[in-house]
Amino acid sequence: MQCCSAFRKEFEQLLVADIGKNIPLYCSDDCWIQQWAGQNVVLMSTPVEILNPLELRFSDGKTHFDVENAMQVFSSLRKLTPTQAADERLWAWLTHVYCWGYMRSRWPIDLKVKAGNDPVKIIRERYFVTTRRSLTRNGIARLWWYVWLTHRPDDSDPFRYTKVLLSKLDVTQSLLERSFGKCREVRMSFLDFLMTHQDECLNGGNRSRIIVRQLAKALNFRGGFGLLDAVRADAMQSFLAKQLDVALSESDGLEPQADEVGEVDVG
């Protein structure tokens, strides 16, 4: 059984510092780390086991298979602890070495440059972990954390809430970029509500996107007046139901436009 490696701290920092110089290398289909490092010892061993080889599905440019890949990453690295999963050196090795082919297909830097995107920003966000928030931006770390934040091992479908989280970009951003998403009980209650009201919150195209944003905004505002994690689950559902009625009335007249592909792509 293979264990993950990790970059040595000084090497990982050097890679971050040299992103701008290495943009052509990030456009290569071949992993270049060992050649770039030369004779320097850049890897360290870790006790993190890869229980099943990661065979991530590559993006075809339209479909990214984030749900499927997230389930695979979490299952293969299910012995990983949250403390270990916050180590930027581990994720940098996975993005630059073990999962290089996947990273190239998911965020092709050469195509991003042609589209006018900032390659340094994309590389920093997707290949490295430079801040706590970037754990859900790093190309591989985000897949593990998406599941850890929503996984219910005793459920008949342990990934039920992961699928809701990744169903729409607005759902992912509403939960992971707002303070209430840090509380597991609130996070799961919000996802449960969306799942219960799929027609209004998930399947209504542009109208659903507006509704999800309004629900998240109302819940975040409510959190400013008291601890949300102290609110009973039934009271939370009632609050969201009232906010849904408000959002529906305010969104009357909006045509349910064709929805975007239900894959998270924020870079």
Question: For 77-106, what is the mean pLDDT?
Answer: 97
Cα gap 234→80, rounded to integer Å:
33
Distance CA 37, CA 240 (A): 53
> What's the pLDDT score for residue 262?
37
Among the candidates 148, 183, 199, a domain finishes at 148
Assess if residue 160 is contained within a domain. no
CB-based contacts of 235, cutoff 8 Å, min separation 6: none
Q: Are 141 and 208 found together in one domain?
A: no
258 within domain boundaries: no
Q: Which domain holds residue 34?
A: 3-148
In order of 13, 96, 215, the CA distances from 45 in angstroms are: 18, 16, 45
User: 50 and 93, same structural domain?
Assistant: yes
In whole angstroms, how far apart are CA 112 and each of 16, 105, 121, 267?
A: 19, 11, 11, 9
Mean pLDDT of the chain: 90
Q: Same domain, yes or no, for 205 and 75?
A: no
SS (H, E, C) 159-205: CHHHHHHCCCHHHHHHHHCCHHHHCHHHHHHHHHHHHHCHHHHCCCC
Query: Based on the structure, what is the number of domains in the chain?
Result: 2
Output the pLDDT for position 256: 46
Strands (DSSP E) contained in 20-145 are 43-49
Are 7 and 129 contained in the same domain? yes
**pLDDT above 60 for 255:** no
Separation of alpha carbons 24 and 4, rounded Å: 26
d(CA 240, CA 247): 10
Are residues 120 and 221 both part of a single domain? no
Same domain, yes or no: 103 and 200: no
Asked whether residue 266 is assigned to any structural domain, the reply reads no
The mean-pLDDT minimum among 23-27, 33-37, 179-183, 203-207 falls in 179-183
- Measured CA to CA, the distance from residue 103 to residue 34 in angstroms comes to 17
Same domain, 54 and 110: yes
117-121, 176-180, 234-238, 246-250: the lowest-pLDDT one: 176-180
Does 237 fall in a domain? yes
Question: Do both 130 and 13 map to the same domain?
Answer: yes
Query: Would residue 261 count as lying in a domain?
Result: no
The answer to pTM > 0.85 is yes
Encode pLDDT of 44-81 as tens digits. Answer: 999 999 999 999 999 988 899 999 999 999 999 999 99
Most trustworthy range by pLDDT among 38-47, 129-138, 156-165: 156-165
131 and 175, same domain (yes or no): no
As a whole number of angstroms, the distance between CA 1 and CA 189 comes to 38
Together in a domain, 176 and 101: no
Residue positions counted in the chain: 267
Instruction: For residues 210 and 134, give the distance between their C-alpha atoms in angstroms, rounded to a whole number.
Output: 25
Distances (CA, A) of 108 to 25, 29, 98, 122, 139: 11, 9, 17, 10, 12
